[in-house]
Structure 1
Amino acid sequence: MAFLSISPFVIGLWHLRFRWKSFPVKASDQFPKVSILVAARNEEKDLPRLLASLDKLSYPAEKLEFLFANDQSEDQTLPILHQWAVGKENVTIINTEKLKPGRNGKAKALAKLGKLCQGEILFFTDADCKVPRDWIQSLLAAYKGKTGMVLGITQVAGRSLLGRFQELDWWMTLGFVKVAADWGIPTTGLGNNMSISREAYLASGGFEGASKSLTEDLEISRKIRQAGFTISHQVSEKALARTKAEESLPRLLKQRKRWMSGVVTLPWYWQLALGLQFAFYPLISYLILSNWLFGLLFFMLKVLLLSSFIQYFASKTGQSLNRYLLFLFDFYFLPLTLLSILYYFWPSSTEWKSRKYR
C-alpha cells in the first residue's frame, strides 16, 4: 500500500519522459477565425494586464474578435473595457442581467457570449490572466481529427510563501491533467486557458448547460466528451498563461471549497488517484513509528519523486522552480488538504466573486 501511494508520481515521471505528446506550431498561411471570450466581474485591478497582453497577440487582427461580458461589476471594470475598445471594430461588450439564485454567474456570462461569437475556434481566459504572444497559434496546433477542446497551461504567480506553494500545487495538478489527456482519460477543462471548436461547443450545449455547476470548465469538458470529441493538452512556453495566486489562506480555502464541489463529481479513478495522494500521510506516519529509518527513507523517496515530477513538468514550459520549496511542499499540501475537506463540509455557503452559493 505504501508503494501504491507513490505510484502516481512514478507513472507521471515515466510518461513525461517516454510518452509525452507535443503539438509543435507549424508555419501556415491558414488562419481560422478565432473568438476570445472573457467574463469579468470586479476586475479593475487585473483587467488592464490582460488587455495589454491581448494587444500583443501575434495572430492576424482581422481573424480575431474579442467578446467581453461585464458580469454585474461594481467597480471600474466596464469603463476600462470601453476605453480599451475605442478604435477597435472587433470588440463586443455586453452586460449580464441579475443572476438567479444558485446559478453560476461566469457560466451564464460565457453562455451569452457564446451565442454572439462568430469564430471557428473559441478561446477562453480569465480577466486576471496574462496570455502569451503566440497563444492562439499554440493551441490551434493541437487540433486534429475529433479534437474538440485544447487546454493550455497556467502558471500561478505569487511572491509570498503561500503564493509560491500554490504555484507548485498548480504545476502538480496540471501535470496529472497532462498525463490523463495524453492517455485519453477524461479530464477537466481549464477555464483560464482553453479553447473549444465551434462544432464541439454547439454539440455539447455550451456553457448554458453548465450554469448550475460552480466548476463550469469541468462540466463543459464532460459534455464535450459525451458529444464524441476528444481533449488535448498543449504544454509549452507559447501556451503558458499567468495568473495571480490567492493572497491569503481564507481566500485560498474559499477557492478550494468551490473546487471540491467539482472533485466530488469526478470519476472513481480520479478520486482513487487523489485518495492515494492523501493516503500517503497516515501510511508514512505508521512506517516512521514502526521503523523510523525505513519510514524516513521512504518519505525522502516520495519527496524526490514529487519534486522531480513537478520540476520536470514545469521545465516543459521553460520554467525553473525553487528546489527547497519543492522539498517542503508536503508540509503545505497536507494541512491545506485537511483544511479544504473540513471547510467543504462546514455548513456555510460557497463564496465566489462576491456572490454566495448554497
Structure 2
Amino acid sequence: MNLLLIILLLPMLFYIYFLLKIKSGLRKLKQEPGGSVVSKITGVTLVIPFRNEEENLRNLIEDVANLEKDGINFDVIFVNDHSEDDWQEYKNQIRERENWRVIELGAGVTGKKNALTEGIKNSSSEIILVTDADCRIPTKWLKLMVGQFDENTGFVAGAVKYKSNDSIFTKIQALEFGGLILSGAGLIGSGEPVICSAASMAFRRKLFIEVGGYNLNNSLSSGDDEFLMRSIARLGHKVGYLLNKEGIVETNPGDSVGGFVQQRSRWASKGLFYENPILILKLVLIFLFYLSLILSPFTIWFFGWNGSFLVMISIVFKGLTEYFVLLEGEGLLYENVDLSHFLLAELMHVPYIVFTAILGAFGGFVWKGRQLSR
C-alpha cells in the first residue's frame, strides 16, 4: 500500500518541478535585454490568415498601419480562407496601401496552415511575422519582435493576453490563458520550447522551407505554431521570446463556456502527436496528476488517513505553486492575480483540463464554422 501511495505521489512531484522550472525560465527572460532591431534583417512580411473576421478587420488594419517600422523593409499579406461574411468592404482598403495585398485560397484548399503556407510562398522576406485576424497589435510589436533576432535565432514567440472587461468569466479566462502563455514563455526561457501562440510569432522563411513547413502536421487542426517552433529548434537554432509589456498582442476571450471548451479541446487534440516521446511522457504525467485529483474521493476511501493527507498536500502545493507562477504575469498579462478569481479558476481548472484532454484525444469539435475531426 505504501508503494502505491508513492506511485500516486510521483505525478504531483513532477508537476511541482514542472511549475518551478517555468518560474525559473520566466525570471531568466525578465533579466535578458529587450533586444534592438538587427540591421542585417533584409525584410519582414506579416502574414495574416483570416476567415469570417469582418468584425475584427477594421481594428486590425488600423493597428498594422500604425506599426513603428524604424526603417524595416516591411510588407503585409492577408490570406482569405473562404470567408462567408461581408469582409469585401475591407479588400480595397488593404489593396490601396503600399506593400499590402490580399490572397484568396483556391477551391478545395482550406484551413489556417494552408493559408499561412500560401502567404509565405508569396513572400520573399527573410523574416515571416504572424498574427491572427482577431487580435489587437501594439505599435512597437514589429520592431520588438524583430529585435529579438540575432544571427543564431530561428524562431521568436511573443506574449499574448486576453482583452479585458468586467465579466468574471473573462477575468477567470484571463488567468487561465495567462497561465498557458507564462508556461510557454518559462519553458522557452529554460531552454525547452514546447508551446507558443500563433497570435504572435516570427521565424526565418528559409527555415520554414527547410523543415518542410506544416507538412508533418498538416492533418491536425491545431499546432501550426508549436510544431514549427520545435522543428526549427531541433535544427539547432535558438528560440527567443518577447516578454515586453509594449509588445503584447491582445486577443478575444471565449464568449461562452461552450466556445471555450471547443477551443481548448482543439488545442489539446495535438498532444498525442508530438514528435518527442519524452515530451509526451511529461504531458501524460501532468494529466495523471489532474486525473488523480478528480479521483481523490476514491483515494481517500481506499487509503484512509494517508489518502486524505496525499490529496490535501496535492491540492495545497498545486494551488500555491500555480499562484506564484501567475504572479509573474502581473502588470503584463493582467493587472493582478485577484485571489477570489484565482480560487474560482482553481475549482474549474482540474475538471476542464481532464475533460478537454479526453475530448481532444477523440476529436470532434467546431471551429470557424467548420466541423473538425481533430
Q: TM-score range by the shorter chain?
A: 0.7 to 0.9
CA apart distance, 1:114: 0.7
1:67-87, Cα deviation, whole Å (9 max, x unpaired) = 01111111122322322432x
**How does 1:174-253 map onto structure 2 within 5 Å?**
174-207=181-214, 210-215=217-222, 216-253=224-261
Instruction: Tell me the residue number matched to 1:99.
Output: 108
CA apart distance, 1:185: 1.7
CA apart distance, 1:310: 0.9
Instruction: Tell me the residue number matched to 1:152.
Output: 158
Q: Which amino acid aligns with 1:353?
A: K
1:173 aligns with 2:180: yes
C-alpha distance in structure 2 between counterparts of 1:169 and 1:271, whole Å: 18
Distance 1:333 1:302, change over 3 A: same
1:9-43, Cα deviation, whole Å (9 max, x unpaired) = 23333443467563413377666411000011000
C-alpha distance in structure 2 between counterparts of 1:99 and 1:252, whole Å: 28
Q: Does the 8 Å CA contact 1:4/1:276 hold for their aligned counterparts?
A: no
One of 63, 69, 91 as aligned partner of 2:73: 63
TM-score (norm 1): 0.87
One of 15, 32, 53 as aligned partner of 1:22: 32
Q: Which amino acid aligns with 1:201?
A: F
CA apart distance, 1:269: 4.5
C-alpha distance in structure 2 between counterparts of 1:293 and 1:208, whole Å: 48
C-alpha distance in structure 2 between counterparts of 1:225 and 1:217, whole Å: 12
**How does 1:35-184 map onto structure 2 within 5 Å?**
35-60=45-70, 63-86=73-96, 88-99=97-108, 105-157=111-163, 159=165, 160-184=167-191
| SS of residue matched to 1:94 | strand
CA apart distance, 1:146: 2.6
Distance 1:67 1:332, change over 3 A: same
| SS of residue matched to 2:225 | helix
CA apart distance, 1:112: 0.9
Distance 1:16 1:217, change over 3 A: closer
The root-mean-square deviation of aligned C-alpha atoms, in Å, is 2.9
Q: Which amino acid aligns with 1:217?
A: D
Comparing 237-246 with 259-268, greater Cα deviation is found at: 259-268
Among the aligned pairs, what percent are the same residue? 20
TM-score (norm 2): 0.83
Instruction: Tell me the residue number matched to 2:23.
Output: 13
Distance 1:140 1:296, change over 3 A: same
CA apart distance, 1:139: 1.4
Q: Does the 8 Å CA contact 2:365/2:372 hold for their aligned counterparts?
A: yes
When the two structures are aligned, how many residues end up with a matched partner? 353
Distance 1:223 1:117, change over 3 A: same
Instruction: Tell me the residue number matched to 1:350.
Output: 365
**Tell me, which stretches of 5 or more residues in structure 1 are unaligned?**
none
1:275 aligns with 2:287: yes
C-alpha distance in structure 2 between counterparts of 1:312 and 1:134, whole Å: 22
Distance 1:279 1:230, change over 3 A: farther
**Tell me, which stretches of 5 or more residues in structure 2 are unaligned?**
1-8
